[in-house]
Chain A
């Protein structure tokens, strides 16, 4: 009797829950959507968010308000999302830092990925490797040979502890069996300056940040961390020389865990349409990022796989959660 009652209640609850969720998805969005950007204004995350935010607002018929909450390698903004009402009216654009931070910081204010409902991976792109002028090599093979012959001599600028660039460097060191020393900087701009000035030997960074320096002849781009020739120059993949080397960084749109699946689905479909527009494609191409937009479950699987991948690199370069 008791069992039946509970069973009946459960069925009723599910049915009611489903219909409520349906109603929610149909009404959604019923108020302006807050889009949290966990970085300072003016960065690459902003640039991509600008490409789709206005179109998303038009398509959903509600304003999309961007809020920058920078700090702690994106943790501050991400924590705000984790605490937000899971109704789809608060969303976050996050970088691959999401899949690195759990292995860098000891006391995380949220669980990854349990605290989130990924909507989609938005874009992905490889880093490019820029080297300073006056080095005795001009390609990846030369670099690896030189580094093997002179262990610990070469230096690379990275934008601080736990940055994906630091992981890209760590992976290169372990995959090629070489030792390039890590010189930490505050942000990628400073590390690029130091390479352009000839104080540090090389830097991994986004294509658009390296290009101005390469065009002025201050440094040369010799490869990318992707799997295919990249950019207007057709930069060769590092994986062509160092077997198995690949490092991709990405942007994802995520909602708090508990957001109704119908709402996530609606957002996902809308974004798919937006990212298929030629104008949006063109804008993303100009930023040298690759539009992705996959299904929510694919996005979750990708993020989980990236977490395992980054964990192994973090451990191999001797970083511990602090």
Chain B
């Protein structure tokens, strides 16, 4: 019953008036920035961090956490209604969520996203509370060898993710991989493709690529298409999910929650990777994979649950070991340090009200988000339903401010502009850009871990099959390749024949 006592301490702290108020502020700000494409939680939290220094430690953390997971909810609203990823983790939500909206099921899509996220958030909170100490150990099982195998598996899955041509998917992953090479090589420190510019030594800014390829490209394409707004306004009567839809969403939500909860633990994992992985998984498991990209409920429900679960469980390595798994967690550690609290296993003992208060607030915050989000949808719609000529300059401005605030430099804005051109080109070529992003992130990490593994083994490649986890993941990747390539060859040949005939 120790857990019960701990949760009691937690709720006692989280339900105090101040903490409730800041939790509400956090989730509202989070939802708003999630809805507006461009401004990410990292930039927002970095801006608001000085404010938290004047608050009690737990209050500050509760607000930051609220912004972080609130953004996951808000991001999906924009993705579904306007086909713009409000948040990088909701890129996948655009694929099927917006298609559902086009079919007049916008309300249902929003409800599935919110309820799926709430379910995932609740489960993840329970997981954090119950298994924090235990789960922290899982991340440690992953060394360079295991990470390399995981990346191989991830990249293989990324090619599956592309709807449309398999060949274009591979091409996109490879393009992403090449772009990812720009910058200083971690192992030797050598500069690659920096052309003598110091600003390029850290590589191309990821947010600039994502914003250019997705948000800006969409803006350009929408202007090109026509001037009528494409916001799918759900009527409130439309908000309810049918029984069939609920049944279709249930299993993907559970699978997405499990997958996201696991991936959140891995450094660099978190929300976005979880949603990509869940989409690939659902597409594989689906009896009708051809519906993906055309409003498949599983393709919305799974990733939505996964990104929220991933966002929540990425708190575990930070809370239990003081290790940040992403930028937001690094900021939270900074917020703790200012108050003389050293993040780590020690926090559970020395400041139980901080540790358990934060956990309890996550559940409270998730509940607030559901209660707030469903009735507030008309309000959010009004936010994105403003005419193009007002909305687009605003989106572009906010995006540019976000891009500028990453490193207080204009370079990312130029890159986003360049990638917008590239994105338009891809759009004309009917090539899906999402795998490019994965290739960009996973490629350099894969190389880094591969070389580190060989450095540790003094050049002996045998370590890749001597470790059971690595062997299992590499084997799985190989199987996936077979699964994809074999039918593709067969279908490819069949198509060639029909075209000739």
- The one of A75, A109, A216, A286 in contact with B340, judged by C-beta atoms closer than 8 angstroms, is A286
Q: A41-B49, A212-B321 are in contact. Are A184 and B186 (CB under 8 A)?
A: yes
Q: CB distance A216 to B186 under 8 Å?
A: no
Known: A69-B407, A183-B452, A212-B345. A197 touches B141 (CB 8 A): yes
CB distance from B24 to the nearest CB of A (A): 25
Instruction: Note all chain B residues with C-beta closer than 8 A to A46.
Output: 334
Q: A42 an interface residue at 8 Å Cβ cutoff?
A: yes
Q: Is the CB of A75 within 8 A of B198?
A: yes
Decide: A186 and B186 in contact? CB cutoff 8 A.
yes
Digitize B334-355: 1 where CB-to-A-CB distance is under 8 Å, 0 elsewhere. 1001101011111000000000
Q: Tell me which residues across on chain B come within 8 A of A218, comparing CB atoms.
A: 140, 321
How far apart are the CA atoms of A199 and B148 in the complex, in Å? 14
Quick check: A212 and B343 within 8 Å, CB to CB?
A: yes
Within the complex, what minimum Cβ distance (angstroms) separates B470 from chain A? 12
| Residue among A42, A193, A215 making CB contact with B333, cutoff 8 Å | A42
How many Å from the CB of A41 to the closest CB on chain B?
A: 5
Most A CB contacts (10 A, CB to CB) among B136, B189, B344 go to B189
A286 to B409, CA, bound (A): 33
Closest to B347 in A: A212
Of chain A, the residue at the smallest CB distance from B45 is: A41
Knowing A41-B46, A71-B202, the reply to whether A160 touches B186 (Cβ < 8 A) is yes
The answer to whether A322 touches B191, judged by C-beta atoms less than 8 angstroms apart, is: yes
Interface membership of B487, Cβ < 8 A: no
Report A-chain residues with C-beta under 8 Å of the C-beta of B408: 67-69
A70 at the interface (CB under 8 A from B): yes
A209 to B333, CA, bound (A): 11
Q: Does B17 contact A (CB under 8 A)?
A: no
Q: Given contacts A42-B330, A185-B186, A185-B452, are A68 and B407 in contact (CB under 8 A)?
A: yes
- The interface bits of chain B over 314-343 (1 if a CB of A lies within 8 angstroms of the residue's CB, else 0) are 000000111110010011011001101011
Contacts of B50 in A (CB 8 A): 50, 66
Asked if B223 is at the interface of the complex by the 8 Å CB criterion, the answer is: no
Contact B189 A192 (CB under 8 A): no
Kindly identify which residue among A104, A212, A322 contacts B346, using a CB–CB cutoff of 8 Å: A212
User: Across the interface, which residues of B come within 8 angstroms of A42, CB to CB?
Assistant: 46, 49, 324, 327, 330-331, 333-334
Nearest A residue (CB) for B191: A322
B456-A200 in contact (CB<8A): yes
Q: Mark B133-154, 1 if CB is under 8 A from A, else 0.
A: 0001001111110000000000
Shortest distance from the beta carbon of A123 to any chain B beta carbon, whole Å: 14
Does A160 contact B189, Cβ atoms closer than 8 Å?
A: yes
* A165 vs chain B, min Cβ distance (A): 14
Other-chain contact of B337, A40, A155, A287 (Cβ < 8 Å): A287
- Residues facing B in A265-311 (CB within 8 A) are 283, 286-287
The B108-138 residues at the A interface (CB cut-off 8 A) are 136
Q: A174 CA to B199 CA in the complex, in Å?
A: 34
Check B190–A212 contact: CB distance below 8 A. no
In the bound complex, CA of A288 to CA of B201 (Å): 31
Within 8 A of B (CB), among A160-188: 160-162, 181, 183-186
Residues 188-216 of chain A: 1 if any B CB is under 8 Å from the residue's CB, otherwise 0? Answer: 01101110111110000000110111011
Q: Report Cα–Cα, A49/B198, bound state, in Å.
A: 25
Contact across chains for A215 and B142 when beta carbons are under 8 A apart: no
Judging by beta carbons under 8 Å apart, are B337 and A47 in contact? yes
List of B residues within 8 angstroms of A183 by Cβ? 452, 455-456
- Which residue from chain A places its CB closest to the CB of B334 in the assembled complex? A42
Interface residues of A in 38-82 (CB under 8 A from B): 40-43, 46-47, 50, 66-72, 75-76, 79
- The answer to whether A107 and B407 have CB atoms under 8 Å apart is no
1/0 per residue B193-219: CB within 8 Å of A?
000101101100000000000000000
Assess whether B321 is in contact with A216, with CB atoms less than 8 Å apart: yes
A75 to B184, CA, bound (A): 13
* CB contact between B344 and one of A185, A216, A322 (< 8 Å): that residue: A216
The CA of A41 and the CA of B44, in the complex, are separated in Å by 12
Least CB distance, B60 to chain A, in whole angstroms: 13
Q: Closest residue to A107 on the B side, CB-wise?
A: B196
Q: Which chain B residues border A70 with CB–CB below 8 Å?
A: 202, 407
Indicate whether B432 reaches chain A with its CB closer than 8 angstroms. no
B338: chain A residues at CB < 8 Å are 47, 50
Partner of B140, one of A181, A193, A209: A193
A-B contact count (CB 8 A): 131
Could you give, for residues 5-44 of chain A, a 1 whenever the CB lies within 8 Å of some chain B CB and a 0 otherwise? 0000000000000000000000000000000000011110
B465 at the interface (CB under 8 A from A): no
**How many whole Å from A196's CB to the nearest CB in chain B?**
6
Tell me the complex Cα distance, A194–B432, Å.
35
Chain A positions within 8 Å of B201 at CB level: 71-72
Q: Is the CB of B198 within 8 A of A109?
A: yes
Report whether B199 and A193 are in contact in the complex, using a CB–CB cutoff of 8 Å. Answer: no
In the complex, are the beta carbons of B140 and A196 less than 8 A apart? yes
Selected from A107, A160, A211, the residue in CB contact (under 8 A) with B342 is A211
Q: Are A161 and B455 in contact (CB under 8 A)?
A: no
B184–A161 touching, CB < 8 Å:
yes
> What per-residue 1/0 map shows which CB atoms of A73-100 lie under 8 Å from chain B?
0011001000000000000000000000
**A193 to B146 Cα, complex, angstroms:** 13
* Nearest B residue to A287, CB-CB: B337
Q: Quick check: B345 and A155 within 8 Å, CB to CB?
A: no
CA distance A181 to B456 in the complex (A): 9
Q: Is the CB of A208 within 8 A of B202?
A: no
Q: Is the CB of A68 within 8 A of B46?
A: yes
Is the CB–CB distance between A192 and B323 below 8 Å?
yes
A76 touching B199 by the CB < 8 A rule?
yes
**A66 CA to B338 CA in the complex, in Å?**
15
Question: Closest B-chain residue to A76, C-beta based?
Answer: B198
Q: Which residues of the partner chain A approach B337 to less than 8 Å between Cβ atoms? A: 47, 208, 287
- Cα A66 to Cα B49 in complex, Å, equals 12
Given contacts A67-B408, A216-B344, A287-B337, contact A40 B330 (CB under 8 A): yes
Q: Are A199 and B143 in contact, with the CB atoms below 8 A?
A: yes
Is B387 part of the contact surface with A, judged by Cβ < 8 Å? no
The residue that B323 contacts in the complex, of A43, A66, A76, A193, with Cβ under 8 A, is: A193
| A207 nearest in chain B by CB position | B342
Q: Tell whether B18 is near chain A: CB-to-CB under 8 Å.
A: no
CB contacts (< 8 Å) of B186 on chain A: these are 160, 184-186
Bitwise, B1-44 to A at CB < 8 A (1) or not (0) is 00000000000000000000000000000000000000000000
Would A40 and B327 count as touching, CB distance under 8 A?
yes
User: In this assembly, does B187 line the interface, its C-beta being within 8 Å of a C-beta of chain A?
Assistant: yes
Residue B267 CB within 8 A of the other chain: yes
* CB-based nearest B residue for A200: B456
Q: A183-B452, A212-B342 provided; 16 other pairs, C-beta below 8 A?
A: A40-B330, A41-B331, A42-B46, A42-B334, A43-B330, A66-B50, A76-B198, A161-B184, A162-B189, A183-B455, A184-B189, A209-B322, A212-B323, A212-B344, A212-B346, A287-B337
**16 A-B residue pairs with CB within 8 Å:** A47-B337, A50-B338, A79-B198, A161-B184, A193-B140, A193-B323, A197-B141, A198-B140, A199-B456, A211-B344, A212-B321, A213-B344, A215-B345, A216-B136, A286-B340, A322-B191
Chain A: residues with CB nearer than 8 A to chain B?
A: 40-43, 46-47, 50, 66-72, 75-76, 79, 104, 107, 109, 155, 160-162, 181, 183-186, 189-190, 192-194, 196-200, 208-209, 211-213, 215-216, 218, 283, 286-287, 322
Q: Which 9 A-B pairs have the closest CB atoms?
A: A212-B344, A161-B189, A212-B322, A199-B143, A42-B334, A42-B330, A197-B140, A286-B340, A42-B331
